Amino acid sequence: MYEMIELKQFKSIIDLLEVFKTEQDCITHLENVRWQGNIVSPFEPASTVYKCKNNRYKCRNTNKYFSVRTNTIFGDSNIKLRTWFCAIYIFTSHKKGISSHQLAKDLNITQKSAWFILQRLRNTTLENVQFVGNVFEVDETFVGGKNKNRHPHKKVANSQGRSFKDKTPVLGILNREDKKIQCYVVADTTAKTIQPIILSKIQQGATVMSDEWWAYNNLNKLYNHKIVNHSNKEFVNEDCYTNTIEGFWSLFKRGIIGTYHNVSRKHLQKYVDEFSFRYNNRKGTTNGNFNLFLQMTTGKRLTYKVLTN
């Protein structure tokens, strides 16, 4: 788990540019976030480290040089850290995301570079949320255009309801007590696919609330399973409802429809993680979330070759 740390304070992008006036300001700040004064070699953590010129360091045991960018999402990037910092600020503060075309204009870089930056940032947001609580909501949603809105020659036959021909299912688990969520792009919404994920994330004996979908059958053997029957227009049954997670789905889909317009199945998990990260940290401060994100950048480097393979 990552800790919220408070370093330099800012509340707007104007403040951000005032705080990080030079590239050296960004390097120093990233070093403080990553190492907090105790520089550790990414090649051999126990090794002695020597400080060299131009913000480089040398690992004594391996004789390899490194910088604060090494083994981070900024590694092997020709884009300045100041530009990366602006991108991170925009990415973490825009509730419905930002398109690569808009980010390219805002940062004065190419659309290809902006898309690669955003994909690296999304890859960073993957969190292994540790669910600690007693009440959970589980639900699935489908990402993809509506068949009725397609041009006649683009309509997909037999794609109504829970068909996976033109839509991709996503399973969500939300802890109602701390409002933390984690979502998973799944192959289908059968019990064989859904229930192992639920069993791996929620401790036995907890209260699990869901709709009447048959894939949740038999959860009552391990959980206090409560059901709200949406097919009968039942949305609240005493304390049983899935409105919280459905509110997240609404925010997520508004971002997909309004900002990104179309997302491929290949990259969908990254977009789900992006919105989950912002939702889970929605109560954090602007600079708190910024620094939290910087803490998460180590060890999550994504190459263009892997991304486009």
- For each of the chain's 309 residues, which pLDDT tens digit applies? 555 555 677 888 999 999 999 999 999 999 999 999 899 999 999 999 999 999 999 999 999 999 999 999 999 899 999 999 999 999 999 999 999 999 999 999 999 999 999 999 999 998 878 888 899 999 999 998 666 665 565 656 655 556 566 789 999 999 999 999 999 999 999 999 999 999 999 999 999 999 999 999 999 999 999 999 988 888 888 889 999 999 999 999 999 999 998 898 999 999 999 999 999 999 999 889 999 999 999 998 888 888 888
Q: Report the DSSP beta bridge partners of residue 51.
A: 57
Give yes or no: residues 112 and 170 share one domain. Answer: no
Q: What is the CATH number of the domain that holds 243?
A: 3.30.420.10
Give me the torsion for CA of 5, 6, 7, 10, rounded to 10°: 130
User: Model-level pTM?
Assistant: 0.88
Residues 62 and 185 in one domain: no
What pLDDT score does 160 carry? 58
**pLDDT at site 123:** 94
Residue 9 maps to a domain: no
Q: What is the pLDDT of residue 269?
A: 95
Mark whether 162 and 238 lie in a shared domain.
Answer: yes
Q: Are residues 65 and 161 in the same domain?
A: no
pLDDT at 2: 54
Are 50 and 95 contained in the same domain?
no
Question: What's the CATH number where 99 sits?
Answer: 1.10.10
Q: How far apart are CA 279 and CA 251, in angstroms?
A: 9
Residues 139 and 266 reside in one and the same domain: yes
Q: What is the pLDDT of residue 146?
A: 66
| HSE-up of residue 50 (Cα within 13 Å, Cβ side) | 10
User: In three state form, how does the secondary structure of 27-81 look?
Assistant: HHHHHHHHHCCCCCCCCCCCCCEEECCCCCEEECCCCEEECCCCCECCCCCCCCH
Residue 10: per-residue pLDDT = 83
Give the separation between CA 230 and CA 23, rounded to whole angstroms: 54
Give the pLDDT of residue 211. Answer: 93
**Domain interval for residue 182:** 135-279
Tokens of 205: 């004996």
Write down the pLDDT at residue 161: 57
As a whole number of angstroms, the distance between CA 79 and CA 114 comes to 10
